[in-house]
Amino acid sequence: MEEIRHFLEGHKALALGGAVVGGAVVGALGVLGWTAFHKNDAGPLTPPVDPSSFTKKNHVYLLIPPRLGAVPSISPFCVKLETWFRMANIPYEVVETMSPSPSKQTFPYIYLNGEETADSRFIIEKCAQRFGKRLDNHLTEMEKAIFVAYSHMIEEHFVITYAWHRYTLGADTFWKNFMPYERLGPMGKRMAGAREFMRKGIQERAWLRGIGRHSPEEIYRLAEEDLQSLSTYLGNREFFFGREPSVIDCTLFAHLCQLLCLDVDFPPKKKLQSEWKNLADYVQRIKIRFYPDWNLVCSPKANGTDNRN
């Protein structure tokens, strides 16, 4: 209880949002640390978002943390949403910012016709309706049920296993991906402090969630069970539910590319090149088809903003 109180006191923004207590955002990655770090540090890394400049009608302004390279975002939830916009063929404009959503204190969030919406799943719901683009129309009732179960497994469980490793035992390897930090502009200057914030943040969150109480070997075993299950279910199919992409493909791709496109020494990753190679091939297929501009998308913008359709 003492730990929980201490944690909540140090993270008032999250506590106020109920995110930690509800457990809903415990899987959040480094950006969690960044947000707190950003608030406690000398000043904004990027100018605060001014929604009054988001004036275009029926136009999606997608707000994500600054890109660092190697993946479109180190936040898998941001990659999931960006992938969905691409799969659904909805034009979007990326705005990089360190200010999280006013309503839920998370990334990603959007502004559409002057209205802010946070949380990838609610954003997808809203945009699917607004633009009449559903990726899930072709799913059977059984597939929809499987979608719900796998989404939660990936976004509420699997993510914690690799995020915990990423910011603790695997931190040296993970951060090397973004060196030299100087090329990241203002962000780079604060990288060393951000690292420590993220380590503490994920340890606290993983502990509250229960996963952080296991030994590293046990945590890796939990991750392997998830990957094994995903690999078995995917089998030889092109997408998770067959020949057409759906929302679960955005989710799965977003999380697997955190392991495959970054240099990380997460032990379960080894089998992605052998036993579970179908998952690695799947990531490659989605990357080629939906991100022909992958390198450009991932590349850091030292000035912190990136306005691109």
Ligand X SMILES: N[C@@H](CCC(=O)N[C@@H](CS)C(=O)NCC(=O)O)C(=O)O
Residue type present at position 240: F
Which of 71, 79, 94, 100: binder of ligand X (CB under 6 A)? Answer: 100
Using the rule CB under 6 A, is 66 a contact of ligand X? Answer: no
Using the rule CB under 6 A, is 251 a contact of ligand X? Answer: no
Alpha carbon of residue 283 to chain centroid: 15
Residue written as token pair 């633009």:
131
Residue with smaller CB distance to ligand X, 163 or 279:
163
Q: Which residues contact 155 (CB under 8 A, 6 or more apart)?
A: 27, 77, 251, 255
**Chain residue whose CB lies nearest ligand X:** 28
Tell the smallest beta-carbon distance from residue 104 to ligand X (Å): 8
Going from the C-alpha of 296 to that of each of 26, 60, 165, 308, the distances in angstroms are: 30, 20, 28, 10
Using the rule CB under 6 A, is 28 a contact of ligand X? Answer: yes
Which of 45, 63, 71, 75: binder of ligand X (CB under 6 A)? Answer: 75
Report helix, strand and coil shares of the chain as percent, to nearest 5.
60, 5, 35
Using the rule CB under 6 A, is 119 a contact of ligand X? Answer: yes
Q: Among residues 97, 6, 103, 82, which one has the least CA distance to residue 309? A: 82
Q: Among residues 211, 255, 259, 252, which one has the least CA distance to residue 230? A: 252
β partners of residue 115: 112
Residue with smaller CB distance to ligand X, 25 or 279:
25
Using the rule CB under 6 A, is 105 a contact of ligand X? Answer: yes
Using the rule CB under 6 A, is 77 a contact of ligand X? Answer: yes
Which of 46, 83, 120, 258: binder of ligand X (CB under 6 A)? Answer: 120
Which of 7, 20, 25, 195: binder of ligand X (CB under 6 A)? Answer: 25
Q: Using CB under 6 A, which residues numbered 32 to 61 contact ligand X?
A: 32, 35
Q: Which range of residues in 40-48, 100-108, 202-210, 215-223 is near ligand X by CB under 6 A?
A: 100-108
Contact 68, 178 (CB under 8 A): yes
Using the rule CB under 6 A, is 231 a contact of ligand X? Answer: no
Q: Among residues 254, 256, 152, 169, which one has the least CA distance to residue 220? A: 169
Using the rule CB under 6 A, is 174 a contact of ligand X? Answer: no
Query: Site residues (CB under 6 A) for ligand X?
Result: 14, 25, 28-29, 31-32, 35, 75, 77, 100, 105-108, 119-121
